Structure 1
Amino acid sequence: MDIEGTAALVTGGGSGLGEATARALAQAGAQVAVLDRDAEAAQAVAMQIGGAAFACDVSDAASAQEAIEAARQAHGTARILVNCAGIAPVRKILGRQGVMALEEFAGAVTVNLVGSFNMLRLFSDRVQHAEPGAGGERGVAINTASIAAYEGQIGQTAYAASKGGVVGMTLPAARELAPLGIRVCAIAPGIFETAMLKGLPEAAQDSLGASVPFPSRLGRPAEFADLVCAILRNQMLNGETIRLDGALRMAPR
């Protein structure tokens, strides 16, 4: 897909991987709609990249629909969707504070998995009516999984389950939407420099980075964004979840 001049939606675009993705897409010439539950953060990024910002709760059907429609009015039908919105709760099933509340598990699944599906279904419904581009392609959706989907650590039951669901829906979604010229992929990042990790002491950050075989450091959000752009440009990438982790395989804790 030619990114230049193409309308794009980036959820969780107000910070972290989503922000880096929004910036990279804008630099490549896309018309970027920055969607985030934090409207102020979305607006700050949008102003810097010449995009548009919209408040959006990806797990709420009405909120997501309103945001996508507002973005359509601003930029036209989006042909690119990158789902970066998510939460990363850490809680043991049986911890010192007692048994994990069911609402905590359901919350992670609702935001990370149901939210990604919600955006995918609404995006696909609109882009299926767009004129096909080169090779019959109409749109590309990229979801964010995690290596925790494969090697979830102790305390990551809810997070790993939600991200495992993102991995699991990638291929069947890609197969279903293929006749419409819509590709679906996912990226499973390892340990990246996010606001949460950057808040740790430098020694702790260095220790986490040293656990990565090579390069022995935390991943940079710009590297995630680079892979997003590569997926968009390579039409043969479809139905695939790509690990972006420096060969890291996480230990139980």
Structure 2
Amino acid sequence: MSTVVSADGTPIAYSHTGSGPALVLVDGAFGHRAFGPNPALAALLAADFTVWTYDRRGRGGSGNQLPFAPEREYEDLSAVVKEAGGQACVYGISSGAALVLDAVAHGVPATRVAVFEAPFLVDDSRPPVPADHQEQLSALLAQDKRGAVVSWFMRRGVGLSAPLVAFMHLLPAWPKLKRLAHTAPYDLAHLGTAAYGQPLDPSRWAGLRVPTLVIDGGKSPASMRTAMAALAQALPDAAYETLPGQMHIVKPAVLAPVLTRFFVKGEIRP
């Protein structure tokens, strides 16, 4: 592990592996270099890329300078890209996808961008994230109800069923999720206005002027696939790809070849 210092002085922990052009992977909610889908994905991509993974602020070996604002995570990603040579391909999953799109639109230097299932909602197929989500989560965190934060996030933010969230309490990963409960508001902040069931605003990503690949899973909910199709239409230069048989917990072995085709071989075009 190494660290790079972000613009506000926050240390950001990172690792890199492999050889080839730089590729930075950005985690979604609760993920970091040692937890989530990206560690396995990095190992698969290392034959074609120098793969950079990092702990988003507040996670793993990274600091958590307050107050938080989404722009601080743009600066964190920018610091990692600078460490990787000044520009890189960038991939983000889930809320990390929303982070990547906004960060590159705000000037983080990327040559190409790929995102998997940013958790946007553009229709009424499921309840939207509550408008007062930050206040509700802040109140729970102030009482140190970390388990309640994770449950709220999974039920009201992600839209999982109550029985499924109750089952998650029994899983070995539950304590790891609780340890990162303080970062849940960060992930919801990156959704912005795209979590309320309204059409996407293309002006949000007007500054994203690099080829972009929007990916979803063929077995993901219809609301997610509708949102990703709308996202591809809203971006200035985007292709749209569906992975048959995949869901939001995407298999790295299925995803890795698609990223290689897009980032290295240029076989997927808008």
Q: Give the TM interval when normalised to the shorter protein.
A: 0.3 to 0.5
TM value normalised by structure 1: 0.45
TM value normalised by structure 2: 0.43
The structure whose residues are more often helix, as a share, is: 1
